[in-house]
Structure 1
Amino acid sequence: MTASESTDRPYGAFPVRIGLQVQPQHAQYADIRRTVAAAEEIGVDVVFNWDHFYPLSGEPEGLHFECWTMLAAWAEATERVEIGALVTCNSYRNPDLLADMARTVDHISDGRLIFGIGSGWFEKDYDEYGYEFGTAGGRLDALGEALPRIEQRWTKLNPKPTRDIPVLIGGGGEKKTLKLVAQHANIWHGFGDAETIAHKHAVLDEHCKTIGRDPGEIERSVAVGDKRPEETGKQLLDVGTRLFTVHAGGPDYDLGLLREWVTWRDEVNAK
């Protein structure tokens, strides 16, 4: 019996979905906007960016754009796809302000925002913009403090969000991050091969069991990198992955691999 078939982890309740992370680096915004439009036309389910201030690869001082102002623009420029950051850095904004920003993009998009968040890791962002980098553990503790504030602020805003905004938490730390996923997230996003992901799922399920939450409520997401669906799709599917995210970087955003994953999604969901 595979993890996806297990009564303990009924991840099969979620359909297979495909995401695209449009890395907002080394490209003009017009190219980014065209890529998002093309991805929506191809049929992708979710389009993500990321929350950094500098490129993560290539020329370190290359072209780059900010995350949340871009998400607001995408909310106006798209009609169907869900949008979000993969992931927002908790360190950069007051949690209550971030909740308000997310609520606003939720309304602009008519309820298509996924609120992706993590504790932060890219030290250059912190140093250049004047944030305290601290320690990995301290940043995770800060995330744990911020999430209840964000959730509470959503209940106080007028108007309230259009829906219960789905929270995606990224990261594989087993003691802190996956515990936060069990407590707060609708989606967990991780990295690695099927064996690694299966192990993380088992740890997450145990955290859910400890707090009395049904692990089947949490959609399982993974970054597939440059892997083709025939290389890794079935293996990740069998251990419970349901959201598969391809990345594309500028200046020339190649969506060939995305098309393969969308075709594979349709074939799997049709069975």
Structure 2
Amino acid sequence: MIEHPYSKYPMRIGAQIQPQRCSYAEIRRTAAELEELGVDVLLNWDHFFPMYGPAEGEHFECWSMLAAWAEATERVEIGPLVTCSSYRNPDLLADMARTVDHISGGRLLFGIGAGWSERDYREYGYEFGAAGRRLDALGEALVRIERRWGLLNPPPLRKVPVLIGGNGERKTLRLAALHADIWHGFGRPDQLAAKHGVLDAWCAELGRDPGEIERATRVLRKGPEEVGPALAEVGTRFVTLVISVRDFDRGHVRDWLDFRDEFNR
């Protein structure tokens, strides 16, 4: 296996619970079961409407849910995949994140991105604008969030891991090189490897050790026998499974957890 600077990280399995078309009681039970199964991280998303299937239906807000998960769970890290930098004042978002970190006992993973769902922006009264401007706003927000964490009393319980999501090579990966502890990308293993190379190049230009940035991705339906070794080969060490509450395949989760345990042995 090729040794990358970021190959030092152990394999981790996350689960992104879709907060849509179900009751919160069902979400809470699913979160509890996933923690009991042994996943490492529980994630939701920061949208205001369902992202898959019919456009209408039950849906729940990101940070209120994370605060509830902070009380309801004991071991797993929790966080958004990803929160949108445009939906809340960055200093307020930093304070919300710090509070969830304290409620959870220091288990917050802070995922953030520039936002992309035009319906969210339009219906909640935010200016959508151009993608480049949203990415510029993300960079500005990250500076303010990091500064606010240093000013809050009390501060976060640990150096909150920052996950930046997105594939854009010119702006997003540069922001990841500047700010991220984890970069979350999308695509096939070979596509991720190419993005890793771009991120590594930004690290070299900006004076950052690329080994400081854990590499992550999302898997929708494929099992570890299909894609696990290839992801590991390119240096991905954090794999997130997407969980539909009313169509929850426990065997799929167990297969990935077995792959993690065998890989880390």
Instruction: Tell me the TM-score normalized by structure 1.
Output: 0.96
Instruction: Please list every run of 5 or more consecutive structure 1 residues that lacks an aligned counterpart in the other structure.
Output: none
CA contact (8 A) 1:115 1:167 kept: yes
1:139 aligns with 2:137: no
Q: Which residue of 206, 210, 221 corresponds with 2:216?
A: 221
CA contact (8 A) 2:11 2:238 kept: yes
Match of 2:90? 95
1:127 aligns with 2:93: no
Q: How far apart are 1:258 and its partner, in Å? A: 1.2
Match of 1:33? 28
In the TM superposition, what whole-angstrom CA distance separates every residue of 1:32-77 from its partner, at most 9, and x where no partner exists? 0000000000000000000000001112111100000000000000
Distance in 1 of aligned mates of 2:141 and 2:203? 20
Report how many residues are paired: 265
Q: How far apart are 1:185 and its partner, in Å? A: 0.4
Distance in 1 of aligned mates of 2:135 and 2:113? 8
Q: Which residue of 15, 20, 29 corresponds with 2:15?
A: 20
Match of 1:167? 162
SS at match of 2:247: coil
Match of 1:106? 101
In the TM superposition, what whole-angstrom CA distance separates every residue of 1:67-97 from its partner, at most 9, and x where no partner exists? 0000000000000000000000111000000
SS at match of 2:7: helix
Distance in 2 of aligned mates of 1:176 and 1:66? 28
Instruction: Please list every run of 5 or more consecutive structure 2 residues that lacks an aligned counterpart in the other structure.
Output: none
In the TM superposition, what whole-angstrom CA distance separates every residue of 1:189-248 from its partner, at most 9, and x where no partner exists? 011111100000000000000111110000000101111000000001000000001001
Distance in 2 of aligned mates of 1:224 and 1:54? 22
Distance in 2 of aligned mates of 1:224 and 1:197? 13
Instruction: Tell me the TM-score normalized by structure 2.
Output: 0.98
Name the aligned partner's letter for residue 239 of structure 2.
F
Match of 2:147? 152
1:199 aligns with 2:194: yes
Spell out structure 1 runs of 4+ moving beyond 4 A: none
In the TM superposition, what whole-angstrom CA distance separates every residue of 1:106-165 from its partner, at most 9, and x where no partner exists? 000000000000000011101110011001111000001110000000000000100000
Matching of residues 27-106 of structure 1 within 5 Å: 27-106=22-101
Distance in 2 of aligned mates of 1:18 and 1:250? 17
1:241 aligns with 2:228: no
Distance in 2 of aligned mates of 1:55 and 1:93? 20
Match of 2:176? 181
